[in-house]
Structure 1
Amino acid sequence: MKIGMELQPIFKDKTGIGWYTYNIIKEVIKLDKDNEFIGYGFNFAGRNNILPNIKDLNIEYDICKVIPYGLYSRLWDYIPIKYNNFFRNKADIYHFFNFIVPPNIGGIVIVTVYDVVYKRFPETMTKANFNRLEKNLQRSVDRADIIITISENSKKEIIEYLNVAEDKIRIIPIGIEIEKYRKKYSENEMIKVRKKYNIPNEYILYLGTLEPRKNIETIIDSYALYKKNGGNLKLVIAGKKGWMYDSILNRVKQYSLGDEVIFTGYVDEDDKACIYKMSSLFLFPSFYEGFGIPVIEAMAAGTPVITSNTSSLPEAAGDAAIFVNPKDINAIADSMLKIANNDYYKKELIIKGLKQSEKFSWEKSAEKLINIYNEFDKNIGMK
């Protein structure tokens, strides 16, 4: 079979959905020698900035250069042209990796839907992103023959909020590059990363986008209580600025923690594992996650984790983390002190975390995806 894979999510950068798309495509192509793969995307006027993100995927690609994706997505309800007619090479199956499926595809459709946070917590999203999903997601899942999601929790919510039949959904957990997080760093390598991001030798870490859903303000509140109760580690908040960022800075000023809280800004992918590994504990009390990949990354790096008892996070973390109510400042502060002051308990969490992280690799994720593709026979129908 010829399988078309949407490359649009990796044209801008390889973070978030782009990173997932890149890694799972790369691993599928490496493992699957029976099917044929082709990548599709829209790149008006053939801008060359997309090429570095796809050239090492080892995939044949067919890029439409006659219309930008943004314009196509606004007009596709009115354009009487099948999606596959924008490209020279046709596929039997089309897999869309970023929630949205255009109308009139011209083949079997698979879509990956990571979560339905826009339904659960609409206040945590920008208006533009909410409107995009509100307008398109229901229609997209209706158009799809199979929906892939990343956790049991997301599956339940897709059924509940989008009225999807259970037998239409498949689960593929997100993977990580385990060997990357297992790496042992030299002292010189760690010094270089500390200097680059202006971080101390020991610290409490949050790593992720700074946006309301990630509950950063509660992290600041809990950290202030941790300090008041005798904690002495600094707090490193690592990640790019999202929306409503100013309220986070105001919280730091409110507690006069300017010298204790360090904002690194965006962290290069090559530095993430080292930053996890050097931290004393990882704090991730997010309100909602479709999966919670930072929790697994931290565990793989040998860092104890405090995370929320909500959404898919217990599913991802297993028995290898401290779980807290994401609104409970006292519980979060107490958990930080417990890890900092109890070496035996800390070591126990680290051992459990290393074991838990081994359940999630891109190879395992890719094998599951290949099995889903192979649910269709060569005559393009369900077996």
Structure 2
Amino acid sequence: MRIALNTRILQAPRTGIGQYVAELVSALVDEQDLELSLFHGWGWGRELPAAAMPGYSRLAPWLRRIPGAYRARRWLEQQRFNGSQSPAVDLYHEPSLWPLEFDGPTVITLHDLTHLHYPSTQPPARLKEIERRLGTGVEQARLILTDSQFVADEAQDYFGLPRDRFVVAPLGVAARFHPREHAELEHNLAPHGLQPRGYFLCVGTLEPRKNLSQALEAHARMPSTLRQRYPLLIIGMAGWEQGQFGEVLHKGLASGHVRLLGYLPDEQVAQWVAGARALVFPSLYEGFGLPVLEAMASGTPVVLTRRSAMPEVAGAAGNYVEPGDVEGLSTTLLRLIDDEPHWQTCREAGLQQAGLFSWKHCAQITARTYRQAMGG
């Protein structure tokens, strides 16, 4: 079976969906009856790009300011997709939101409905394109993959489609996320004056949906000596409307109790995750919550909200807090410092829970969905 898979998102630095595309493609190689052709936006290939397009992070904000830029880029991509160099394929899989036009059977992956709940996280031009194209794309798809049952149920209700149009394919965890010995971590942490298990970590784009303000405020309520000993580190790119964090962020940065590490290479992220006292992930809405799974697989306890799809990922291993309950989150962080038996229990429960997920399993469900869409 010849599959066209759109990997254009890998032109950008890899965040959640980019990681999904890269890991899925790598795992689908084991499906012997599949032949993958990868569309990278300007042409076709067989191999994944090793890195993002040079200068993409600087170019993307500039392009957003050009009227009609999204539509123009979309038109150019469609021409390249249909061009004379396009391979003969049996099925097209669009893994990122809305599909290009294709005459044959189409499968899409719908990761979440963030644009409905938090439209401010999208640049206005992109939001308009989502609203204009997503409904048509969903109708076009023979089958719709989702990362969680939560998104499948939500999308079924919103689009009014039958349940059998949706297939849940839970995400997996990359091999680089695993428990690490302290000696392995020290060379990464020592230049920052940190010790393994001597900091809390947030991972995610700085945007309102991630609710990092609750993490910042909860950390700020800890005694000053503990904030100094266990600073709060944040890994991620600046997002849309990230200025909402205001004074509490500036105070934390000024004191050194909060540190912004920015966007980091994959291997560095894995090391920071493995060395944290806990991952703090108070997000308000997630279609899955990949950092939660990655932290558990690394032997790092997780603190999160019981919202959207996240309980499907963390199960009983999560330390759950209510959105907006700053005092409750602060108390949870203090317990993960003071109560070593509790910390160890959370670590072991997380490792066991993470063992239920794999990219191999995700790829197997995806391949089965391709066959089903082809009528097999």
Please confirm whether the aligned pair reaches a TM-score higher than 0.5, indicating the same fold.
Answer: yes
User: 1: distance between equivalents of 2:158 and 2:84?
Assistant: 32
User: 2: distance between equivalents of 1:208 and 1:270?
Assistant: 16
Q: Shift in Å at residue 263 of structure 1? A: 1.1
Q: Shift in Å at residue 85 of structure 1? A: 5.2
Superposition pairs of residues 117-266 of structure 1, within 5 angstroms: 117-177=114-174, 179-185=175-181, 187=183, 189-195=184-190, 198=192, 200-201=194-195, 202-227=198-223, 232-253=229-250, 258-266=255-263
**1:6-28 deviations in whole A, cap 9, x for unaligned?**
12122333332122111101110
Q: Which amino acid aligns with 1:156?
A: D
**1:110-145 deviations in whole A, cap 9, x for unaligned?**
011100011122234332332221111111101111
1:101 aligns with 99
**3-state DSSP class of the match of 1:240?**
coil
1:43 aligns with 42
Superposition pairs of residues 294-313 of structure 1, within 5 angstroms: 294-313=291-310
2:7 aligns with 7
Structure 2 CA distance for partners of 1:335 and 1:86, relative to 1, 3 Å? farther
RMSD value, Cα: 2.8
Query: Residue 346 of structure 1 is aligned with which of 337, 343, 346?
Result: 343
Q: Name the stretch that deviates more: 236-245 or 150-159.
A: 236-245
**3-state DSSP class of the match of 1:181?**
coil
| 2:31 counterpart of 1:32 | yes
Q: Name the stretch that deviates more: 243-252 or 109-118.
A: 243-252
1:23 aligns with 23
Q: Which amino acid aligns with 1:222?
A: A
User: 1: distance between equivalents of 2:143 and 2:37?
Assistant: 19
Structure 1 gaps, min length 5: 55-67
Q: What is the TM-score with the length of structure 2 in the denominator? A: 0.86
Structure 2 CA distance for partners of 1:301 and 1:123, relative to 1, 3 Å? same
Q: Is the 8 A contact 2:70 2:126 kept in 1?
A: no
User: 2: distance between equivalents of 1:148 and 1:312?
Assistant: 15
Q: Shift in Å at residue 273 of structure 1? A: 1.8
Structure 2 CA distance for partners of 1:254 and 1:260, relative to 1, 3 Å? closer
Q: Which amino acid aligns with 2:178?
A: R
Q: Which amino acid aligns with 1:258?
A: S
Q: Percent identity at matched positions?
A: 25
Q: Shift in Å at residue 72 of structure 1? A: 5.1
User: 1: distance between equivalents of 2:85 and 2:9?
Assistant: 18
Query: Residue 362 of structure 1 is aligned with which of 354, 359, 365?
Result: 359
Structure 2 CA distance for partners of 1:83 and 1:327, relative to 1, 3 Å? same
Structure 2 CA distance for partners of 1:191 and 1:75, relative to 1, 3 Å? closer
User: 1: distance between equivalents of 2:20 and 2:289?
Assistant: 13
Structure 2 gaps, min length 5: 53-68
Q: Which amino acid aligns with 2:282?
A: P
User: 1: distance between equivalents of 2:277 and 2:80?
Assistant: 53
User: 1: distance between equivalents of 2:201 and 2:86?
Assistant: 48
Structure 2 CA distance for partners of 1:366 and 1:51, relative to 1, 3 Å? closer
Q: What is the TM-score with the length of structure 1 in the denominator? A: 0.85
User: 1: distance between equivalents of 2:311 and 2:193?
Assistant: 29
Q: Shift in Å at residue 244 of structure 1? A: 2.5
**3-state DSSP class of the match of 1:106?**
coil
Q: Is the 8 A contact 2:252 2:258 kept in 1?
A: no
Q: Is the 8 A contact 2:176 2:267 kept in 1?
A: no
Structure 2 CA distance for partners of 1:252 and 1:9, relative to 1, 3 Å? closer
1:62 aligns with none
Q: Name the stretch that deviates more: 284-293 or 118-127.
A: 118-127
User: 1: distance between equivalents of 2:237 and 2:95?
Assistant: 23
Q: Which amino acid aligns with 1:295?
A: V
Q: Shift in Å at residue 36 of structure 1? A: 2.3
Structure 2 CA distance for partners of 1:226 and 1:160, relative to 1, 3 Å? farther
Q: Which amino acid aligns with 1:13?
A: P
**1:61-117 deviations in whole A, cap 9, x for unaligned?**
xxxxxxx996352579xx9x89545543221111011111123x1110001110001
Q: Is the 8 A contact 2:179 2:299 kept in 1?
A: no
2:64 aligns with none
Q: Is the 8 A contact 1:5 1:94 kept in 2?
A: yes
